Every structure is written in structure tokens, then in C-alpha cells.
């Protein structure tokens, strides 16, 4: 009984129609991130369930009061099929008054495209100001290896980044006595010590002291 159930399960996993019916999706990975001010971080632009991918093009918008773009680099997926040409056609924190954007394109030089899924690009940011921003994927185009190429239908899922107010140690969206209490417990500690709490070390100097208390005091009462 157990064996026959397992065989049915395996058969289901390898059924070609199941693969063909899965939705091709481009998404920001991880889809949701919480950062602190001044922190640097990266996200991947990832694709899954694609067949014969030979080129891609996307634009990503982000709030320029929350984030600044640092870099954009090609991911490994398309390269698994051969040589590629990767080009950043736009990269600005000042696309307009509120948003920055990055646009990149990539083409595979090979007779056939790649299948499955992987990373298309890696994008790095620095958290600039507190608040929330979507990492808005827009104008995503993916094409196959035909000549002329056909567009591959797909969906695109945006990401979300939240940058905490300095002093909001517990991440509940406000700076109040709860954060002060957490800071007090770590007060006087140094990096490596048992009481040290990196979340309370707002200026990243390896000590939780009056400098961090001052930052918390300055933001006391602020809410997102
Ligand atoms: Ca979008
Ligand atoms: Ca808080
Ligand atoms: Ca500190």
C-alpha cells in the first residue's frame, strides 16, 4: 500500500502536463524585507516555471525617500544556457520626485533557451529613510528562442521593503517605552558581550551607550 501511494506521488511530480501548466512567474526574492536605516541589502529578481527563455527585460521602481539603489548585476540563470549580453539601460534614484528606477535587459546567445527557474538579476540597495516601499516590477518582457522571438506570457510579483524608524527596536512601527526598555537592558554592552543587542546599536559602533539613547530620544514618539 505504502509503495503504490509513493509511486502515484512520484508520477504526479514528473507529469509533463503539470510542469507546462504552472504559471511562469517573475518575482522579487525575498518578497518582504525589514531593514534598518543605513543598512545595505540585496534582492534577486527570480523566475520560475519558464520554458525556452532566451531574453528578459524588466524595470523596477522604488521609493527614493526609503531606498537608494547601489548596484544591479546579472543573475546566473540565463548564463546556464551559454554566453549572454547583459545591459543596464537605466539606473537612477531620481526618476521623478518620488521614485527611482532600474531597467536591465539580457539576451542569451544560443540556439535554444533555458528551462526551469533561477535568478535573472541581483539588485542592491541602501536603506535611506524610514517607511515602506514596494519594489515594483513593471514592463517585464521575456522571450523565447524563436526568430523572431515570441513573448512568453507570465505574471510579475512585486516585493516590499520596510525600513524601521531609528529607535524602533521591536519593529512595531513606533518608538516608545517598549524600545527604551529593550535598549536599557543592553545599555553599556559591547559587541560580543552577553548583553549586547545589535538591534539597539543604532549607530553600528559596537557599543550600546548614550549615543544610541540619544538617537532613540530624538525619535521618541514617532510612528510609521
Ligand atoms: Ca508591478
Ligand atoms: Ca517600537
Ligand atoms: Ca552604538
Segment 115-162, tens digit of pLDDT: 999 999 999 999 999 999 999 999 999 999 999 999 999 999 999 999
Mean pLDDT of the chain: 92
- Whole-angstrom distance, CA of residue 164 vs CA of residue 172: 9
User: Which residues surround the ion ligand 3 when the cut-off is CB under 5 Å?
Assistant: 201, 203, 205, 207, 212
CATH number, domain with residue 193: 1.10.1330.10
Nearest ligand to the C-alpha atom of residue 140 = 1
User: How far, in Å, from the CA of 156 to the mean position of ligand 1?
Assistant: 6
Reported as a single tens digit per residue, the pLDDT across 175-208 is: 999 999 999 999 999 999 999 999 999 999 999 9
* Residues 155 and 187 placed together within one structural domain of the fold: no
Catalogue the E-assigned strands of 64-113.
67-74, 83-92, 99-109
Query: What is the strand order of the sheet 159-163 is part of?
Result: 32-35, 159-163, 131-143, 55-63, 99-109, 83-92
User: How far, in Å, from the CA of 70 to the mean position of ligand 2?
Assistant: 28
Domain count, the chain: 2
User: How far, in Å, from the CA of 202 to the mean position of ligand 2?
Assistant: 13
Q: For residue 7, is pLDDT > 60? A: no
* Residues 59 and 108 placed together within one structural domain of the fold: yes
Which among 103, 121, 100 is positioned nearest to 44, based on CA atoms?
A: 121
Q: What is the pLDDT of residue 51?
A: 97
Q: What is the pLDDT of residue 11?
A: 47
User: How far, in Å, from the CA of 163 to the mean position of ligand 1?
Assistant: 20
* Residues 109 and 71 placed together within one structural domain of the fold: yes
SS3 191: coil
* Residues 73 and 159 placed together within one structural domain of the fold: yes
Phi-psi region of 126 (alpha: psi -120 to 50; beta: other; left: phi over 0): beta
* Residues 63 and 116 placed together within one structural domain of the fold: yes
User: How far, in Å, from the CA of 41 to the mean position of ligand 3?
Assistant: 20
pTM of the model: 0.85
Buried-state track 33-42, b at ≥16 Cβ within 10 A, e below 16: bebbbeeebe
Nearest ligand to the C-alpha atom of residue 204 = 3
C-alpha cell at 132: 515602506
Nearest ligand to the C-alpha atom of residue 166 = 2
* Residues 140 and 56 placed together within one structural domain of the fold: yes
Nearest ligand to the C-alpha atom of residue 223 = 2
* Residues 31 and 124 placed together within one structural domain of the fold: yes
User: How far, in Å, from the CA of 179 to the mean position of ligand 2?
Assistant: 5
- Share in percent of the chain as helix, strand, coil (round to 5): 20, 45, 35
Containing structural domain, residue 146? 25-163
* Residues 30 and 82 placed together within one structural domain of the fold: yes
C-alpha cell at 57: 527585460
Cell 542592491 maps to which residue? 124
Cell 519558464 maps to which residue? 50
Give the helix/strand (H/E) hosting 55: strand 55-63
Q: For residue 6, is pLDDT > 90? A: no
* 1, part of any domain: no
Buried-state track 185-201, b at ≥16 Cβ within 10 A, e below 16: ebbebeeeeeebbebbb
* 42, part of any domain: yes
Domain end point (choices 140, 163, 186): 163
The average pLDDT across 38-67 equals 97
* Residues 112 and 190 placed together within one structural domain of the fold: no
* Residues 82 and 186 placed together within one structural domain of the fold: no
* Residues 124 and 215 placed together within one structural domain of the fold: no
* 87, part of any domain: yes
* 19, part of any domain: no
Nearest ligand to the C-alpha atom of residue 178 = 2
Amino acid at each position: 500500500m505504502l509503495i503504490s501511494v509513493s509511486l502515484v506521488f512520484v508520477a504526479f511530480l514528473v507529469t509533463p502536463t503539470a510542469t507546462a501548466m504552472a504559471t511562469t512567474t517573475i518575482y522579487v526574492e525575498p518578497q518582504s524585507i525589514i531593514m534598518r536605516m543605513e543598512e545595505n541589502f540585496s534582492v534577486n529578481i527570480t523566475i520560475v516555471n519558464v520554458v525556452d527563455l532566451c531574453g528578459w527585460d524588466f524595470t523596477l521602481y522604488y521609493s527614493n525617500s526609503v531606498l537608494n539603489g547601489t548596484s544591479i548585476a546579472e543573475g546566473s540563470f540565463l548564463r546556464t544556457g551559454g554566453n549572454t549580453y547583459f545591459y543596464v539601460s537605466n539606473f537612477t534614484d531620481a526618476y521623478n520626485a518620488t521614485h527611482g528606477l532600474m531597467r536591465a535587459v539580457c539576451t542569451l546567445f544560443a540556439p535554444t533557451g533555458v528551462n526551469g527557474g533561477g535568478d535573472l538579476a541581483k539588485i542592491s540597495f541602501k536603506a535611506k529613510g524610514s517607511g515602506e516601499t514596494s519594489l515594483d516590477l513593471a514592463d517585464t518582457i521575456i522571450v523565447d528562442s524563436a526568430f523572431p522571438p515570441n513573448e512568453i506570457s507570465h505574471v510579475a510579483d512585486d516585493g516590499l521593503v520596510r525600513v524601521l524608524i531609528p529607535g524602533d527596536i521591536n519593529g512595531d512601527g513606533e518608538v516608545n517605552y517598549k524600545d527604551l526598555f529593550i535598549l536599557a537592558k543592553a545599555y553599556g554592552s559591547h559587541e560580543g558581550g552577553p548583553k549586547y543587542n545589535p538591534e539597539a546599536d543604532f549607530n553600528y559602533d559596537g557599543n550600546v551607550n548614550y549615543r544610541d539613547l540619544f538617537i532613540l530620544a530624538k525619535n521618541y514618539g514617532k510612528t510609521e
